[in-house]
Every structure is written in C-alpha cells, then in structure tokens.
Amino acid sequence: MPARKPKRRPLSWFARLMAGAGWCSVVGLWIAAGSQYVSPVTFRYVGVLGLTFPMFLGGTVLLFVASLLFARRIAWITLLGLLTCVMSIRRYVPVNIPSPPPKHSLRVLTYNTLQFGSGAHDEKDRNIVAQYMLQSGADVICFQEGHTSPTEWDRHITPLLRDAYPYRDTLNLNFNNNLGCFSKYPIVSREVVYRVGFNASVAYEIVLKQGDTLLVVNNHLASNKLGPADREMYKKIVKDPDDAPMKQGIRQLVPKIAEATVARAVQADSVARYVFAHRRGRSTVVCGDFNDTPISYSRHRMAEGLTDAYVATGQGVGRSFNRDAIFVRIDNMFCSPDLRPYGACVDKSIVVSDHYPLYCNFKRIDTKK
C-alpha cells in the first residue's frame, strides 16, 4: 500500500489570529491604494482613504515579519498584499540607483517659499530664499506663495536675482499670495490654466534656443485649510489616535480634508486636460505644491502620460512639508516622455519655509537613435 501523506497540522489559534489581522491589513492597504483612481468628485470621502496608506503599509510589513518569525504558513497573505501594491509603495517611498545629472542638463526647481521665508535674512542682510535660489544652479525656478512686501522685492529679491534670472513672471492672486517663475531663458508667453482664490496654475512657454521651447506648468493646488487648532489636533491624533478626545477630533477633521480633496480633484482635472492638449510636440515639465500625498487622485491625475521625476530618480519618502506631523511628499515634478530626469531631490538644507524645495535635472532623449 502507498504510504499515506501525513496530515498537516491545523493552524494554532495564534496563527489564525495573525491571519485575520493580516487579511484586515491587506484589504485596508488595497482600499487605500485603490482610492487614488477614484475622483473625490464622485465620492468625496475617497480622498481621505489615501491618507491611511502609510498606516496600512506599516501594519502589513510588521505582520509579514511577525508571520515569518511565528507563523510562516500564513506569511503569503501579507506578502501577496505587498506584491500587489508594489507600484503604489514605490510611488510613496521610491528607491533608485543614484543618477548624477549629465553635462548641459536643465535644472528645474519648485519651491513653496512661504512669502520668501517671511522675509528672513542672513548675516549679510540677504533674503535667505532668494540667496538659496541664486546658489541652486537652477535654470528655471517655479515658486508658490511668493508674496512679500514691495520693499523686500525691490531691495532684497529683484536686485539679487535679476542678473542670473533676467526673465521672470509673477501672478498675484490676492494680498498675501502669488506664484511665479524665474528663468535664465526667455519666457515668451504665459497662460493661466485656472485661478480660484489662493490657488492657481500657470503655464509658461520658455525658449531654450531657436526653435526649441519648453512648456512649464507651475501649480499650487488647494490646501486642507486646517487652522492652528486643527493642526495641533492632527499632531495629537497621530501620537494617540485611540484617545477619546482624539476620536472626536478625527470626526471634525475628516469633513474638512474631504472638502479639500474635492477642490484639488477639480483643479487637477483642469491642469491634466490643459497639459494633454498642449504638450504634444513640446517638452513639458509640470511641478508645484499639490498639497496632497503620493497616493491621491490629484497626483495620479496630474501624472497621466508623464514621468514622475522623484519616483524615477529620487530616494526615500522625500518629505517636502516640514511642519506638524505630516511626513509626506506633497510637492511634485513631472516631465514629458522625451525628457529623462536625473537626481530628483528634496533639499532639506533650507528651513525658512514650511516646505522644502524640490529640484531635478532633465536631459532630452535623442529619439533619432
């Protein structure tokens, strides 16, 4: 008689408990990752789900490690969850081989300046943000929240930058906000893609050389409009989400964040349609402060048909907002397929704004080869 195969031992209660927790975490991860493909205009709270992605990702990774140590038979559950979300994980925390920029590449910098560092000066009485821009090596600088006093502009910003960046354009949105562009190359046209309150998107046509133009789209999408009390509440929620007052705080914050995701979705749709209609036959860079995470509809929509420069060449989370407990990249830069990005970096060397600047070098791909 053939030998009977030994029966597999049933899972212990601990393994079954871990399997259940693993499935819960994986399903949560799938829902969070999938939320970026659904417009908040359709369902407003879908935009909030993407914010839970790092929580479910961390939980799934921990459960995977724990299952390898204590219940290997169920490790496949969390491994499956991680493998099916590998592209979303890469968007959130990319890891790449370093890519030093080649000679004669074009460097683009995007920076939410917080009113040019609220007028902060160094020991030589130079505006710190303007001095940083001057030393950045950027060929094109897109800035957001650039409003400051006329005196600051006339005495400390324009004189410092006008020789290096003879071409510039500024769109004033209201009494305390604007966005604009400094360029080493001629800006021959400007078109406002949309303008709503404090937010806008502006497209610049920049001539790099005779017959060679670059389309640069500078964006500042709607913020979550959280006041100081809301932000303090958010910090406490991150530290202790199970505390009873914090649960009440979550119920207060979620509707505000959901409303903001709807506004960003509408704005992102406008920009994406514009870029699709105008980028054909032209090299294009889309950048700015998106006020949204890498797992969001607005980021997904804006990236359609483009290369995410940071995901392709950056390293790590790339936290670009440096206030409160928000450890995420909300500033982005994309390029058209004919441009190859190199060395995208969130530069943490300057801290006078609530954002860190993001820069990347680009080189046109030789399509004739």
> What is the DSSP code string of 117-153?
HHT-B-TTS-BHHHHHHHHS--SEEEEES----HHHI
Rounded to whole angstroms, the Cα distance separating 170 from 178 reads: 7
Rounded to whole angstroms, the Cα distance separating 118 from 95 reads: 34
Phi, psi of 323 (to 5 degrees): -115, 160
Dihedral in degrees, nearest 10, Cα atoms 174, 175, 177, 179: 70
Contact assessment for residue 102 and residue 342, using Cβ atoms and an 8 Å cutoff: yes
pTM: 0.91
Tokens of 53: 């992605």
Residue 312 amino acid letter: A
Residue 363, beta-bridge partner list: 340
Contact assessment for residue 168 and residue 185, using Cβ atoms and an 8 Å cutoff: no
Residue 349 amino acid letter: S
196-249 tens-digit pLDDT: 988 999 999 999 998 899 999 999 999 987 766 666 666 666 555 655 565 666
Higher pLDDT, 344 or 367: 344
* Other Cβ atoms within 10 Å of 162 Cβ, number: 12
136-172 tens-digit pLDDT: 999 999 999 998 888 899 899 999 999 999 999 999 9
Per DSSP bridges, beta strands 283-289 and 212-220 are parallel
Q: For the residues of 297-339, what is the DSSP string, one character each?
A: HHHHHHTTTSEEHHHHH--S----B-STT--S--EEEEE-TTE
List, in order of start, the domains of the chain with CATH numbers: 13-92 (no CATH), 107-364 (3.60.10.10)
Rounded to whole angstroms, the Cα distance separating 99 from 314 reads: 9
270-292 tens-digit pLDDT: 999 999 999 888 999 999 999 99
Q: Which residue has the tokens 């290997």?
A: 72
